[in-house]
């Protein structure tokens, strides 16, 4: 109720000898790639009565936190955990069970409007509430979409920062321009396709006779068996694909490859596995549906596969 007094520093309220304070929500709001928080000020009028405030999108949501606190003459007349949820934005009956009802928050100052005699709500006349809702929806439309898509568009709330991207680019540039890379490009003798296939098949032959780490059946179209192999040497290929049957692929990942030993954390390992496995699936799909391993075709198919994880997050 007294958050405005706390903010202005004109109220010292104590509980058991300890001064209470009001912690603003900024630290809990989602940030974009540049580090700016998702907090949008707004202002509009309805029949000459001013309304102002801000809307934000929580980084971590919860139904009890969503909605708008209504502030009138410096007092909170409606707020957490029973915040105002305009039907046009949140849906009827207390709000839908969606991300908007978990992530969209804000404050709205309605000093020019009348307050109920119990001082716990606004006294709306005629269609005032509907028109305020309509104006509010118009002003914060982009943030409504941001709240709705917080999982679908992870780039809004997470993903690498600009600093991390710059550091990664610098690392890769250093690798690409190193003497070792120049030697690898200039000196390496590329074996014939037949020799490569023969050598890879010889390595894979014994491995695929064993038990895979997991088997994934993708509908009735494909079965993918994944082997994370400890017995391969550091000189063996980082990954091998075997597709002896039309509807079956074996993906063998070399756990002793030098690159594997540089992976860090669950996400790092999961992304590495994802690329190894999706490369195999993309090549299988291109060969089966197009009849060739055209690089652009393979990359187009893999692009779709890489979007599956985000689609799964959006539905959970």
Predicted model pTM: 0.50
pLDDT of residue 155: 44
pLDDT of residue 1: 56
Of residues 132, 126, 88, 82, the one with CA closest to residue 108: 132
Whether residue 22 is predicted with pLDDT greater than 90 in this model: the reply is no
Q: What is the CA radius of gyration of the chain?
A: 29
pLDDT of residue 16: 73
pLDDT of residue 52: 98
Q: What is the pLDDT of residues 166-212, one digit of tens each?
A: 778 888 889 889 998 888 888 778 888 899 989 999 999 999 999 99
Give the number of other Cβ atoms within 10 Å of residue 272's Cβ. Answer: 17
Across the range 248-266, mean pLDDT stands at: 92
In the chain, beta strands by DSSP E: 14-15, 18-19, 39-46, 49-57, 67-72, 75-78, 104-109, 214-218, 222-229, 239-242, 248-254
Whether residue 119 is predicted with pLDDT greater than 90 in this model: the reply is no
φ and ψ of 46, to 5 deg: -130, 115
Give the number of other Cβ atoms within 10 Å of residue 90's Cβ. Answer: 22
Across the range 40-60, mean pLDDT stands at: 95
Domains of the chain: 3-156 (3.30.230), 189-314 (no CATH)
| Beta carbons of 73 and 105 less than 8 angstroms apart | no
Q: What is the average pLDDT value for the chain, to the nearest integer?
A: 85
| Beta carbons of 46 and 131 less than 8 angstroms apart | yes
Q: What is the pLDDT of residues 205-235, one digit of tens each?
A: 999 999 999 999 998 889 999 999 999 999 9
Residues 247, 176: Cα–Cα separation, whole Å: 38
CA-to-CA dists, residue 109 to 50, 122, 305, angstroms: 8, 11, 46
């Amino acid at each position: 109720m007294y958050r405005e007094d706390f903010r202005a520093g004109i109220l010292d309220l104590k509980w058991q000898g300890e001064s209470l304070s009001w912690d603003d929500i900024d630290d809990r709001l989602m940030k974009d790639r540049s580090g700016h928080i998702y907090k949008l000020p707004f202002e509009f009028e309805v029949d000459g009565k001013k309304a102002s405030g801000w809307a934000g999108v929580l980084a971590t949501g919860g139904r009890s936190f969503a909605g708008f606190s209504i502030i009138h003459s410096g007092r909170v007349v409606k707020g957490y955990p029973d915040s105002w949820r305009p039907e046009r934005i949140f849906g009827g009956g207390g709000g839908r069970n969606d991300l908007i009802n978990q992530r969209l928050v804000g404050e709205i100052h309605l000093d020019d409007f009348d307050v109920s005699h119990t001082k716990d709500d606004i006294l709306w006349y005629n269609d005032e509430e509907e028109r305020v809702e309509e104006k509010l929806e118009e002003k914060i439309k982009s943030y409504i979409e941001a709240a709705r898509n917080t999982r679908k568009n992870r780039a809004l709330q997470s993903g690498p920062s600009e600093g991390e991207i710059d550091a990664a680019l610098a690392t890769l540039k250093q690798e690409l321009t190193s003497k070792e890379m120049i030697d690898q490009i200039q000196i390496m003798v590329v074996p014939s396709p037949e020799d490569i296939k023969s050598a890879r098949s010889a390595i894979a032959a014994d491995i695929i006779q064993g038990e895979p780490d997991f088997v994934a059946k993708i509908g009735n179209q494909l079965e993918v068996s994944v082997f994370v192999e400890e017995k391969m040497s550091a000189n063996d290929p980082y990954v091998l694909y075997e597709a002896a049957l039309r509807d079956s692929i074996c993906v063998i990942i070399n756990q002793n490859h030098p690159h594997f030993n540089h992976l860090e954390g669950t996400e790092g390992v999961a992304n590495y596995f994802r690329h190894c496995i999706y490369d195999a699936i993309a090549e299988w799909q291109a060969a089966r549906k197009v009849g060739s391993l055209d690089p652009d075709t393979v990359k187009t198919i893999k692009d779709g596969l890489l979007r599956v994880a985000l689609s799964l997050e959006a539905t959970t």
